[in-house]
């Protein structure tokens, strides 16, 4: 199963995501509460998939996405955002986001995004 890193400034969202993913058999290898900590954990843990919130302190999700993709262009990244504006979706896609899920997210939407990342990594 894929090892997943969750980067979100909301402890509630991190906990919800962790529980949702672990119930489905995924391993959550780490959590971070801001973009800087998220990048450090990405480097340390080399997760199969990283879930990023777009709006975070110290380093926002788009900037973190850029760093991750410059370090590892094949890294799988799922963006989460309350902002469904097409500009943010376009910007995330432009910088290599593999999936984009809007908040409030459903369990199905998150799990389908993770599944597509796993499948594309294995193909």
Task: CATH number of the domain at 69, please.
Answer: 3.40.50.2300
pLDDT at 82: 77
Counted domains in the chain: 1
Percent of the chain with pLDDT over 70: 95
- CA 85 to CA 81: how far, in whole Å? 10
What per-residue confidence (pLDDT) applies to 83? 66
Q: d(Cα 55, Cα 65) in Å, to the nearest integer?
A: 12
Q: Residue 8 is part of which domain span?
A: 3-122
Mean pLDDT calculated for residue range 84-98: 79
Task: Write down the pTM of the prediction.
Answer: 0.93
- Determine the average pLDDT of the residues in 83-91: 70
Comparison of pLDDT for 91 and 80, the residue scoring more: 80
Helix and strand totals (H; E) in the chain: 5, 5
């Amino acid at each position: 199963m894929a090892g997943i890193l969750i980067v979100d400034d909301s402890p509630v969202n991190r906990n919800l995501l962790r529980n949702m993913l672990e119930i489905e058999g995924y391993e959550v290898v780490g959590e971070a509460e801001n973009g800087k900590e998220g990048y450090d954990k990405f480097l340390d843990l080399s997760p199969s998939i990283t879930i990023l919130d777009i709006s975070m302190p110290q380093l926002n999700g788009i900037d973190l996405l850029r760093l991750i993709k410059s370090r590892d262009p094949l890294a799988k990244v799922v963006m989460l955002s309350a902002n469904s504006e097409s500009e943010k979706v376009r910007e995330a896609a432009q910088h290599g986001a593999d999936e984009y899920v809007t908040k409030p997210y459903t369990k199905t939407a998150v799990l389908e995004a993770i599944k597509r990342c796993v499948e594309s990594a294995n193909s």
